Structure formats: C-alpha cells, structure tokens
Amino acid sequence: MPKVKTHSATKKRFRLSANGKVKMSHACRRHRLVTKPRKAKKGHKMPAYAADMNAAIVKKMMPYAK
C-alpha cells in the first residue's frame, strides 16, 4: 500500500494534542498590535481548538500525526 501524503499547509498550522484534539493558534496576532485592545491580544495568546467537524477534516489531511 503506498504512503499517503501529508498536506503541507495543514502540518504548519495545526498540532494534535495528547487527547486527540486539533490545536491551532488564533488569528490577528502578527502585526498592527498597537491598535488592538489588550484584552483581545491576551485572549488570542490562549490555544484554540478546532470544532469537531473541522477536526475530522484536519486529521484526514495529517494521516501520520501523533
């Protein structure tokens, strides 16, 4: 059986947690942080988890992720 290719953009943006959840980072944390409120910046530091429907798609794109 041939190997399945991993989607390159997916492996750069997502990680799998120990419990099997799909972990991702928030958007809006790269530039123009001066104009954004402190509460928003602090909230975006926290890890985000993909919804169950989207997590199934991401896991399909990363077949060898552990």
What is the value of pTM for the model shown?
0.81
SS3 1: coil
pLDDT in tens, the chain (66 residues): 899 999 999 999 999 999 999 999 999 999 999 999 999 999 999 989 999 999 999 999 999 998
Cβ(29)–Cβ(44) under 8 Å? yes
pLDDT at 24: 96
Cβ(55)–Cβ(22) under 8 Å? yes
**Where are the chain's structural domains?**
8-61
pLDDT at 60: 96
pLDDT at 10: 97
Report d(CA 38, CA 35) in Å as an integer: 9
pLDDT at 27: 93
Say which CATH architecture domain 8-61 belongs to: Irregular (4.10)
